[in-house]
A and B are shown apart, each in its own frame.
Chain A
Amino acid sequence: MENKYYDNHLGIKGWAIGGKFSIERYLYTLHRITGLGILFYFILHIFVTSTRVLGQEGWEKAMASVSAPLFRLGEFLVYFAFCFHALNGIRLILLELGFLVGKPIEPVYPYKTSVGKQRPVMIILMLIALIFILIGGYDFFLGGSK
């Protein structure tokens, strides 16, 4: 049986202008943007790192071609994207597997949601991502020989 797709009228625009968003919705958008950035970098990375097969001269030539400050900043952005994408990905997997959702309960006013369980985990994971980003930033821009 063929899959039926329904019109998603907002399309990609829905990432940003779908309505009154909670912070988790912005994380969803950022997860996709960082994912696309990492994928783009990864494709280039496969070609650049394959130059190690050419030996020292070929490798150093390739590294010299991507050592400008702009590339260095880009590299840090990829590191930033990885830290965020990985930690937010852990949150998404926990949710997908049913953790942090809670047991079904009667819809009795005042209604309870699972946001109370999910948000502290989100805050902790984002803080861990921030710590990794700060450590990486130190290594990238302040650490030793660079």
Chain B
Amino acid sequence: MKDTKLWTLHLFAGIVILFLLGLHMGIMHLDEILKIFNPAGGEGIDWQNVLARMKMLGFAIVYILLLGFALYHGFYGLNKIIGEANVKDKTRKFVSLVLTIFGFLLFVFGTYSAIAAKVVSVKW
């Protein structure tokens, strides 16, 4: 894919992350003020709140979307930063490949976790 398209996707991912991570930050870190998606009260990380969110299909979808866009945005940005350093073209390409593979593996792992959490939460 041409770099202009990858760059446009980087910007688009940034906008998506703004909303999805904004929601996540609001739930987890402004829990005392906003009190949303924390039905048991208390902190966002309390197990009863975590379990309640795990049971919602919408949250699994949001987590997977956020995971994908955030990994792409982050690793593309890192790749650009490395590109600014004085490294050889071969090294640059190798690093780019390693970051792509690492990002993909993280996406697979994170997606598996989100789906598994939704599946097992039904039993609890």
Contact = CB atoms under 8 A, between A and B. Distances in A.
A59 B70 contact: no
A46 interface: yes
Interface stretch (A2-10, A19-27, A110-118): A2-10
Interface in B82-101: 83-86, 89, 92
B42 interface: yes
Interface residues of A, number: 42
B109 A50 contact: yes
A103 interface: no
15 contacts: A5-B89, A7-B86, A12-B81, A12-B85, A43-B106, A55-B120, A55-B124, A56-B124, A59-B47, A63-B45, A79-B29, A86-B18, A93-B11, A136-B30, A140-B29
A11 B81 CA distance: 9
Contact of B84 (A11, A42, A135): A11
B5 to A, nearest CB: 14
A11 B29 contact: no
Given A56-B51, A89-B14, 10 more contacts: A5-B89, A8-B85, A38-B74, A49-B113, A50-B109, A52-B50, A79-B29, A136-B30, A138-B33, A143-B33
Interface string B49-76: 0110010000000000001001100110
Interface string A127-146: 00000000110111001111
B29 A139 contact: yes
Contacts of B50: 52, 59
A140 B43 CA distance: 11
A53 B77 contact: no
Interface in A19-76: 32, 35-36, 38-39, 42-43, 46, 49-50, 52-53, 55-56, 59-60, 63, 75
B40 interface: no
B74 A35 contact: yes
B32 A144 contact: yes
A65 B54 CA distance: 21
Contacts of B32: 139, 143-146
Contacts of B21: 82, 86
A144 B34 CA distance: 13
A96 B43 CA distance: 39
A8 B84 contact: yes
Contacts of A96: 11
B39 interface: no
Interface string A85-105: 010011001001000000000
